[in-house]
Amino acid sequence: MQQRRDSMLGYMAVLAVCMYLIEIWFAIDWLQYLYSPLAVVLVICSLWRLRGFNLYILLLLLIIAFYIFIDRDVHFTVMLASFGENMSLLGLFILVPLFGVYLSNAGYYGALSELIQKREEVKGAHPYRLGYGLTAFMGSILNLGSLPLIFRMGQESLSSFGQKQFALTLMRAFGFCMLFSPYFVNVGLVLVLYDLAWLEIAGFAVILAVIYTIMAALFFKRTTFANEVYQVKRKEEQRKVTEATVPGFVFYMLCLLLLSFLLELALPLNMLTVVTTLALVYPFIWALFKRMGMVYMQAAHEYMKLSFTRLYRELGIFITAGVIGAAIAVTGMGVIVSEWLVNISNGIVPVIIFILIMISILLALVGIHPVIIIIGLGSALSPGMFGMEPSVMAVVLLCAWALSTQLSPFSGSVLMTSYLADESSGQLTKKNVGFVMALVGVMTAVLTVFHIFQS
């Protein structure tokens, strides 16, 4: 019974996102009153499944939001629509993994694993460099699902590596992706908050990602584990013979990236809508071209059926964040918070940037999800109050989110890495303190240069 209920909720989540996409593509405004009630059902069922601190925080935020709505005499339809406020972000979570569903069923991961083995035989073992590079490339599209996939590839293909250090390297590479990838929810969020196109922040974001990688390389030898466990290559399993090749995999990824950017330039749509729509269409077209349409459709159906079971925590957090964000928007709190920040920092931009990043990190450390923090800050702060361009403020919030997830023991990437490394999340974040705090200083300086450049 529970499994059937979860399957229905999975289909409901996909249906809500599809209705949102139809609304955006064809400007059918009344559709929000169909998918918003579905979001209400999803958040109630998510809260029912949640336990502990996350549950209490989300309930508190919903109570605060409803108090604001009632106090400000907000119409019921506006309150209802607030539950669908973050549907574009949910679309990334729910549909973007379909890109990986196709790759998995087409055999590309097996082909990549074989290439890694051959490369090690010729050029020697560089497991950490290889792990970082693979995560930086694949994770930019496959998101959190790339971490266990690449870790498993390492177990099957690399002769030897330190399990804990390898997992931590993948986690740091995941932070690289969070700074620029248009397939990540944090990038999509800041674009929506400040009504920007991805290309307006791309230059800044890529520079930050490169600096982040240099810092990761500098801190690599400083991060060791006293209780390190060394993995050795598992006994090779007989693989299913497929036509998949590594060049085919690279071509698939590059075509996807190019198509995403071209469509954003050509259409009056933001990158979130483009990427989410492509997730529905792009892998299906490739599957048809490769004559595996039915195989892909069955795999995609199984994925959608289980989407609520996998993502109920994220669904609850993102829907609630949309509601509290909409509530903050009707309070006029932006001017108050912006003036407070200007006063406490004396209007000094580097201090403002530092405070914003540290607020995000400290709140994330106690378990408040970065999306709630960033929506709260983004909805409340007016870049013009600081003489800052929206594009610069957007990358400030990107840095805040990326660094928060590297240090919070409650973030998805830390929890996944904890499982892979067989190490507590608390110990992992302790290993990352020096790395993150050094990045706070470096990123503050670089972001200040961006601000000066844009002024």
What's the mean pLDDT when you consider all of the chain?
87
Are 292 and 106 in contact by the 8 Å Cβ rule? The answer is yes
Q: What whole-number distance in Å separates Cα of residue 38 and Cα of residue 31? A: 11
Percent of the chain with pLDDT over 70: 95
Query: 57 lies in a domain?
Result: no
423: left (phi over 0), alpha (psi -120 to 50) or beta: beta
Are 143 and 188 in contact by the 8 Å Cβ rule? The answer is no
Per 3-state DSSP, the chain is made up of helix, strand and coil in percentages (nearest 5) of: 80, 0, 20
Are 111 and 245 in contact by the 8 Å Cβ rule? The answer is yes
pLDDT confidence bin for 301, thresholds 50/70/90: very high
**pTM value?**
0.82
Q: What is the mean pLDDT of residues 44-65?
A: 89
Query: 275 lies in a domain?
Result: yes
**What range does the domain containing 255 cover?**
95-217+228-307
Six-digit token pair at 1?
A: 């019974």
157 pLDDT higher than 80: no
Domain count of the chain?
1
Query: 173 lies in a domain?
Result: yes
Residue position matching structure tokens 């919070």: 408
- Closest-CA residue to 92 (of 199, 211, 177, 7): 177
Are 202 and 180 in contact by the 8 Å Cβ rule? The answer is yes
Query: For the segment 354-366, what is each residue's pLDDT rounded down to a tens digit?
Result: 999 998 898 888 7
Q: According to the model, what pLDDT value does residue 233 have? A: 62
Q: According to the model, what pLDDT value does residue 144 have? A: 76
Query: 402 lies in a domain?
Result: no
Q: What is the mean pLDDT of residues 328-332?
A: 79
**Given CA atoms 65, 67, 72, 76 in this order, what sign does their dihedral have?**
positive
Query: 29 lies in a domain?
Result: no
Q: What whole-number distance in Å separates Cα of residue 204 and Cα of residue 398? A: 11
**Integer angstrom CA distances of residue 380 from 214, 384, 402:** 33, 12, 20
Query: 198 lies in a domain?
Result: yes
Q: What is the mean pLDDT of residues 174-202?
A: 90
Instruction: Give the range with max mean pLDDT: 166-175, 358-367, 411-420.
Output: 166-175
- CB atoms inside a 10 Å sphere around CB 109: 20
Query: 34 lies in a domain?
Result: no
Query: 212 lies in a domain?
Result: yes
338 pLDDT higher than 80: no
Q: According to the model, what pLDDT value does residue 120 have? A: 67
**Which of 9-13, 40-44, 134-138, 340-344 comes out lowest in average pLDDT?**
340-344
Q: Which long-range contacts (CB under 8 A, 24 or more apart) does 46-51 make?
A: 46/312, 46/313, 46/315, 46/316, 46/319, 47/316, 49/312, 49/313, 49/316, 50/312, 50/313, 50/316
